[in-house]
């Protein structure tokens, strides 16, 4: 599918479309948020990836080639190695590789602008990053004219050679049946016997990938057996993902321990059109191909918009958050699922059927193929606003704001489906973000990029979107004209002084895109602060602040009473009573123009705009997060965890960036304790998917910085969180 086809479907038919394959099988094509939530979260076990069988057969028993309990076990073991703390420890390695890339490109442009295939260099850089940080192996010295490592060529060929196109129909329609009818040994014999060159090409590539993965694994295993000295002699010094995974697996309980073939499989899967599973081979594949192509897309867009490139170069030290490229041009445009049983999929809003009737849910018979459009979800004008298509490309570089905050889009990051959603979302999305920000920031600071003369670029969707030259040989490449940004600036303004103030080695603010990188521009509302329970200085406490919403001026005393009641309940309950001496509670009153909480998705005239969406009772949302952020920020160290307290007697709440509760006497205290679990730790949503507690948004080890870290005596303790030893002496 080309991008234009996705756009045509969205513009002409909307978020729900019935398609047919060449074998006249029905396909349910959708980017409706409620349908995606149902398929990827609530009923994910009923909608496994459509190529699960082929992934398991060809590339091993890895994370995305498994389902159910086996999948949960593998994901639980892998989550800690993708924590923010571990990503932060990789920064020196990332910067070192970025420096090597800079040195190589500088040699190419030292005599003036030069045409360079940036896709090739992005692929080499991505492979080296995942090689060193993933399993302590160097594929490339990043010097010019050095032949690419064979693994790099194999991966590129496996995803983008014509072989996969010729095998795709077989993969979707026949391989699942063969998996049920024949054993692995019989399938291998059939593969060797069939006179089909494409099958043999893929077989040989997969054989090499497996043999290489086993080789790396055995080297790591021997080093671990020989002890710490042998581990330290290796490239990653035991800090790479594979070494940590192997050590954690040794110490894991019997129910969580992974088999040797599962660990080897953990690095071998393609992310895209043919395979979507993680395994030693998966990490290489996913981190190299999707990320390198995404970086290439960013660079190509910057050549089309030189004014944006110049502005980005000027402002890059401020690290303003921009996610538009990953929104508008996700490396993987869509993912496939198959209904394993008859299902009823709800829709977020009715669609008009061919008979003219409104449809609020779709019945999917067992076996129906489901095509979830990531690219159309990310461009859905109902939520992102008008004029967001690439017909006017500069629109894609404007700061965005989702219009419908209750969309419930199941993506793991910033309302985007770019990294998929639910229990099968991309486990390494923080790694990918870090890689792109380090490399792109360096490239844009040091170099200027322009379109190569006479070479138009077309992005083809062969699973993972790849650039090709129009009228060329069809092989993926991105030739751009590259020159030194310093020399380019000097040519325009000979007397201008070139300055650079990027400090990648010291700036880790990019590690958490959920935290604003600049102070909020919205002024805080007028706040009247009163202490509720204060145990000591805010410099050495965790401070929780109740902010009023829906309380009129005459309701101020009621708000103070409601806040005190909730603070006393929380601090006195067994959940928090052991750490009560470490906590401060405050009340921050702001008078509202209207009383209560909004309903039907419409907030009232209140500071933070709390409202219910009308579809359920339990969730209470906020319409003005920028105001809440400004209010909390204005209090400095006095506000660690803001709590938005709505003047409403009914059950309801929300966890996350801001804890939201109501003044319900019956349920308010229980809801507050529950939602603080989502906000402080933070634990994932329990209603959709169940095992979301193992998601990438939860704390998994004690090495990750937490607000209470300075009270932990045994900072290297590997025990449970409730076993942390806290020193209560000298706390004033």
Specify the range with the lowest mean pLDDT, choosing from 258-267, 308-317, 700-709.
700-709
Residue 40 gets which letter from DSSP? I
Give the mean pLDDT of 423-449. Answer: 78
Q: For residue 598, what are the β-bridge partners?
A: 611
Contacts of 446 (CB under 8 A, 6+ apart): 102, 105, 106, 484, 485, 486
Give the mean pLDDT of 87-93. Answer: 77
Res. 71 pLDDT band, cuts 50 70 90: low
Supply 269's token pair. Answer: 């899967």
Cα 24 to chain centroid distance, Å, stands at 35
Model confidence at 283: pLDDT above 60: no
Q: By three-state DSSP, how is residue 24 classified? A: coil
Model confidence at 514: pLDDT above 50: no
Residue 1 gets which letter from DSSP? -
Find the length of the chain. Answer: 732
Distance, in Å, from the CA atom of 354 to the CA atom of 337, rounded to the nearest integer, reads 25
Distance, in Å, from the CA atom of 399 to the CA atom of 177, rounded to the nearest integer, reads 48
pLDDT of residue 265: 57
Res. 604 pLDDT band, cuts 50 70 90: very high
Specify the range with the lowest mean pLDDT, choosing from 95-109, 178-192, 214-228, 507-521.
507-521
pLDDT of residue 220: 78
Q: For residue 307, how many other CB atoms are within 10 A of its CB?
A: 10
Give the mean pLDDT of 497-504. Answer: 37
The answer to whether 530 and 624 are in contact (CB under 8 A) is: no
Give the mean pLDDT of 576-580. Answer: 79
Does the annotation place 426 within a ligand binding site? yes
Distance, in Å, from the CA atom of 1 to the CA atom of 413, rounded to the nearest integer, reads 25
User: What percentage of the chain carries pLDDT values higher than 70?
Assistant: 61
| Sheet of 583-589, strand order | 528-533, 583-589, 542-549, 641-646, 659-662, 653-654
Supply 367's token pair. Answer: 């076996």
pLDDT of residue 286: 46
Q: Which of 170-179, 506-515, 580-589 has the highest mean pLDDT?
A: 580-589
Farthest CA pair distance, the chain: 84
Burial per residue of 98-131, b for 16 or more beta-carbon CB atoms within 10 angstroms, e otherwise: bebbbebbeebbeeebeebbbbbbbbbbbbbbbb
Contacts of 336 (CB under 8 A, 6+ apart): 49, 50, 51, 369, 370, 371, 372
Res. 103 pLDDT band, cuts 50 70 90: very high
The answer to whether 376 and 332 are in contact (CB under 8 A) is: no
Higher pLDDT, 324 or 508: 324
Domains of the chain, first to last: 80-295 (1.10.630.10), 528-698 (3.40.390.10)
Phi, psi of 714 (to 5 degrees): -100, 80
Model confidence at 357: pLDDT above 80: yes
The answer to whether 67 and 52 are in contact (CB under 8 A) is: yes
Distance, in Å, from the CA atom of 711 to the CA atom of 87, rounded to the nearest integer, reads 24
The answer to whether 414 and 45 are in contact (CB under 8 A) is: no
Q: By three-state DSSP, how is residue 592 classified? A: coil
Specify the range with the lowest mean pLDDT, choosing from 113-122, 147-156, 406-415, 562-571.
406-415
Residue that has been written with the tokens 């993933």 in this structure: 134
pLDDT of residue 204: 79
Contacts of 652 (CB under 8 A, 6+ apart): 597, 612, 617, 618, 619, 620, 646, 660, 661, 662, 664, 671
Contacts of 153 (CB under 8 A, 6+ apart): none
Distance, in Å, from the CA atom of 218 to the CA atom of 232, rounded to the nearest integer, reads 16
Give the mean pLDDT of 691-702. Answer: 36
Q: By three-state DSSP, how is residue 345 classified? A: strand
Model confidence at 392: pLDDT above 60: no
pLDDT of residue 643: 95
Cα→Cα distances 142→38, 112, 124, 653, Å: 45, 21, 8, 52
What is the pTM (predicted TM-score) of this model?
A: 0.54
- Estimate the crossing angle of helix 291-304 against helix 429-446, to 10 degrees: 40
The CA dihedral of 224, 229, 234, 239, to the nearest 10 degrees, is 70
Model confidence at 629: pLDDT above 50: yes
Model confidence at 694: pLDDT above 60: no
Whole-number average pLDDT of the chain: 72
Q: Of 556, 621, 542, which Cα lies nearest the Cα of 585?
A: 542
Give the mean pLDDT of 397-408. Answer: 49
The answer to whether 217 and 163 are in contact (CB under 8 A) is: no
Res. 180 pLDDT band, cuts 50 70 90: low
Model confidence at 348: pLDDT above 80: yes
Model confidence at 415: pLDDT above 90: no
Residue that has been written with the tokens 């896709």 in this structure: 119
pLDDT of residue 397: 41
Higher pLDDT, 639 or 702: 639
Supply 446's token pair. Answer: 């040091």
Give the mean pLDDT of 334-353. Answer: 86
**What does 436-479 look like in DSSP terms, one character per residue?**
HHHHHHHHHHHEEEEEPTT--EEEEEESEEEEEETTS-S----E
């Amino acid at each position: 599918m080309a991008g234009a086809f996705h756009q045509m479907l969205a513009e002409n038919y909307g978020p729900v479309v019935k398609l047919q394959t060449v074998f006249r099988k029905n396909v349910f094509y959708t980017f409706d948020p409620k349908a995606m939530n149902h398929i990827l979260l609530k009923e994910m076990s009923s909608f496994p990836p459509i190529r699960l069988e082929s992934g398991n057969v060809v590339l091993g028993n890895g994370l995305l080639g498994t389902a159910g309990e086996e999948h949960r076990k593998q994901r639980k073991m892998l989550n800690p190695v993708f924590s923010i703390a571990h990503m932060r420890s990789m920064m020196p390695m990332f910067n070192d590789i970025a420096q090597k890339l800079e040195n190589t490109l500088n040699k190419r442009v030292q005599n003036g602008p030069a045409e360079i295939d940036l896709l090739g260099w992005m692929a080499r850089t991505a492979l080296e990053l995942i090689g060193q940080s993933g399993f302590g192996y160097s594929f490339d010295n990043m010097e010019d004219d050095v032949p690419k490592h064979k693994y790099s060529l194999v991966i590129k060929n496996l995803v983008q050679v014509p072989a996969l196109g010729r095998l795709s129909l077989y993969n979707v329609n026949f391989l699942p049946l063969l998996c049920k009818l024949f054993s692995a040994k019989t399938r291998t014999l059939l593969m060797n016997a069939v006179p089909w060159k494409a099958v043999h090409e893929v077989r040989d590539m997969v054989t090499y990938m497996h043999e290489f993965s086993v080789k790396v694994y055995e080297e790591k295993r021997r080093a671990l057996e020989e002890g710490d000295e042998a581990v330290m002699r290796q490239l990653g010094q035991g800090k790479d993902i594979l070494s940590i995974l192997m050590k954690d697996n040794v110490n894991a309980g019997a129910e969580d321990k992974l088999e040797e073939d599962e660990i080897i499989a953990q690095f071998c899967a393609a992310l895209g059109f043919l395979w979507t599973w993680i395994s030693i081979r998966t990490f290489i594949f996913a981190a190299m191909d999707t990320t390198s192509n995404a970086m290439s897309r960013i660079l190509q867009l910057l050549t089309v918009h030189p004014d944006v490139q110049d502005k980005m170069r000027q402002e890059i030290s401020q690290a303003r958050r921009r996610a538009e490229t990953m929104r508008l041009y996700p490396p993987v445009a869509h993912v496939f699922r198959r209904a394993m049983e008859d299902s009823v999929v709800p829709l977020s809003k009715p669609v008009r059927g061919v008979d003219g009737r409104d449809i609020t849910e779709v019945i999917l018979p067992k076996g129906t193929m489901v095509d979830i459009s990531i690219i159309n979800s990310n461009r859905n004008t109902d939520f992102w606003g008008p004029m967001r298509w690439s017909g006017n490309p500069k629109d894609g570089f404007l700061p965005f704001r989702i219009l419908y905050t209750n969309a419930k889009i199941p993506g793991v990051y910033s309302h985007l489906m770019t990294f998929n959603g639910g229990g099968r979302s991309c486990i390494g999305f923080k790694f990918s973000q870090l890689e792109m920000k380090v490399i792109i920031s360096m490239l844009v600071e040091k170099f200027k990029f322009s379109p190569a003369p006479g070479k138009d670029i077309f992005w083809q969707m062969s699973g993972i979107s790849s650039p090709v030259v129009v009228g060329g040989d069809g092989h993926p490449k991105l030739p751009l004209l590259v020159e030194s940004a310093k020399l380019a600036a000097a040519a325009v303004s000979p007397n201008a002084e070139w300055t650079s103030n990027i400090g990648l080695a010291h700036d880790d603010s990019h590690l958490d895109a959920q935290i604003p990188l600049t102070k909020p521009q919205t002024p805080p509302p007028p706040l009247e602060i009163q202490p509720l329970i204060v145990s000591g200085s805010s410099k050495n406490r965790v401070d929780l602040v109740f902010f009023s919403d829906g309380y009129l001026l005459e309701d101020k005393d009621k708000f103070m009473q409601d806040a005190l009641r909730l603070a006393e309940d929380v601090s006195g309950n067994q959940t928090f009573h052991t750490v009560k001496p470490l906590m401060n509670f405050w009340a921050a009153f702001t008078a509202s123009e209207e009383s209560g909480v909004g309903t039907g998705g419409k907030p009232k005239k209140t500071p933070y705009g709390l409202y219910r969406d009308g579809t359920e009772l339990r969730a209470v949302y906020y319409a003005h997060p920028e105001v809440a952020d400004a209010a909390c920020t204005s209090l400095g160290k006095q506000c660690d965890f803001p709590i938005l307290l709505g003047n409403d007697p009914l059950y309801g709440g929300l966890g996350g960036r801001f804890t939201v509760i109501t003044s319900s006497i019956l349920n308010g205290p229980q809801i507050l304790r529950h939602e603080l679990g989502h906000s402080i730790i933070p634990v994932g949503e329990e209603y959709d998917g169940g095992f979301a507690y193992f998601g990438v948004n939860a704390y998994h080890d004690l090495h990750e910085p937490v607000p209470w870290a300075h009270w932990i005596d045994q900072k290297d303790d590997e025990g449970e969180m409730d076993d942390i030893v806290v020193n209560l002496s000298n706390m004033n």
